[in-house]
Chain A
Amino acid sequence: MLVKPHRDDAKLIVYYLGRIMWVVAGAALIPIIVAIVEGEWQPFGWFLTMSGTAAFLGAATDRLKPPQKQVMRWGDGMVVVALTWLVVPLIGAIPFFLSGHFSDILDALFESMSGFTATGLSVMSDIDHNPTSITIWRQTTQFLGGQGIVLAALSVFAGGGLLALYHAEARDERVFPSVRSTARFIWLVSLWHGVIGVTVLWLIGYFRLGFEPGRALLHAYAIFVGAFDTGGFSPMSTSLAYYRSFPYELVTMWLMLAGTLSFGAHYHLWRGPRNILRNLETKTMAASVILGTTILFIGLARTDIFVDTPSVVRRGFLHLLSAHTSTGFATVTGSDLASWGGLAFAAIATAMALGGMGSSTSGGVKALRVGLTIKVIVNTVKETLLPEHSVIRPRYYQNGNRQLSPRLAQSVLVVSLLFVALYLFGTVVGLVYGFPLQDAMFESVSAAGTVGLSVGVTNPAMPIGLQITYLLLMWASRLEFIALFSLAGFALATVIGE
């Protein structure tokens, strides 16, 4: 029997949603300041509208403040996060819609959802001629989404139930005793990479590419955010190909790699013990990157598209890394990517499906789950080969020796299977709309793995049904299902619960 949620639970959920609205209202100050500096008065009005809407919603929910002793339950935390990832993209879509770069509100919402989920698929027309403040906001959605909107709220507001919110946002690692201090360490790591990354990209942009200082800074910020938050939005429609610069690509590769590291791995690199090479997650990630890139190289070598070894390494590794870290940057067009042939195509699609490390900004199944799934398979085979009464106690190393319990194995397999189901669902919808199997599968994995590489299926003229499907795939994937199921359960209990 489902129990109808108490009125206080609903009030608590709305109250926390309101807190998060204040974060959105505050984040809007970034494009507002840029609009003032650049004298873009029309966009200034669009961002003021967005900020005002978010602030109004935040203020309207202030009076629902729960009593001090009321602590948020896990289920309620999940519902808050699931709703946050629907409401925030909706508010964030306001300036996109008003900008006139989208034909309807669905296109604007798609772009916003793609940004906040750090996917990078785009339906924006005329990207190259955006006002600077719109470009900054488009990039900042990835920063907010990648860092975690809820995490941002945790850094600012204190209160009960923070742990529930933290875990609900698909982060299962805490490197400090309190969630707040963990959140602050995550910001420290991001700030450190931001300062170094933006400075180096600015230097390359200014001295090597001949950009003006302001333009070099805009591109440096945009590419840093796109790479470190594994979003993949670029200020130019040609993505990284626009720069035609190996040093720029090299720095971007470093940032993508850093962005895909779990924050636990960042912590161990930063504060020690520095033995992350022993971790199952690190080993799995390294093995799949090397194996995937080798397969991609073989595929490229068979097509004769790139004649020399440096070109194969430069193009092949960048795209494999971009796919594996779920970033989505590219140096070739979608149609060129499609012409790379079946083997190279399959390597990229598989990398997108596997994704990066857990508790990072990347999507996909995630390296630790992949490693554990392989361990479960190996142990199952062992069990069938060994004598009947043999007992196997599977173990793995991940920041210490751990046992692979049946409960953990089940949870890993369930989430991995749900990801596969998501990839297949999107593929089937693509096929229904008449796209070839290869294109439908690639684009579906790209959306559901929150990657953003495209072979051209995603465009301003794409079918509405497919667009809504990809939108839902991005949302479900970012939440890693559990928060989604909690929301569905909450809605069902509200309707039929007793």
Chain B
Amino acid sequence: MTEPARRRSRISTDISGGVFHLVAEIGALLALLVILGAIAWLVTTLI
């Protein structure tokens, strides 16, 4: 692979990795909010 092609491939990996990274972090936050929402509902109902 030539140097410009290698660089393009690296940038493409970086962008797709960055997008996955973002989705994973926001997904984790939303999953936590759903789990904790259910726990909070249970706690406020029971206490």
Contacts and interface: CB of A to CB of B under 8 A. Distances in A.
Given A309-B44, A313-B37, A313-B40, A257 B29 contact: yes
Interface residues of B, number: 23
Interface in A224-273: 250, 253-254, 257-258, 261, 266, 269-272
A interface SS class: helix
Contacts of B21: 189, 192, 266, 269-270
B29 A290 contact: no
B20 to A, nearest CB: 7
A317 interface: yes
A340 interface: no
A293 interface: yes
A301 B39 CA distance: 12
Contacts of A310: 37
Contact of A270 (B17, B43, B44): B17
B25 A271 contact: no
A359 to B, nearest CB: 16
Given A254-B25, A254-B29, A317-B36, A271 B17 contact: yes
Contact of B24 (A269, A297, A298, A302): A269
Most central of B20, B22, B33, B43 by chain A CB within 10 Å: B43
A316 interface: yes
A368 interface: no
Interface of B: 13-14, 17-18, 20-22, 24-26, 28-29, 32-33, 35-37, 39-41, 43-44, 47
17 contacts: A192-B21, A196-B22, A254-B29, A257-B25, A270-B17, A270-B21, A272-B17, A293-B36, A293-B39, A294-B43, A297-B40, A297-B43, A308-B44, A309-B41, A309-B44, A312-B44, A317-B33
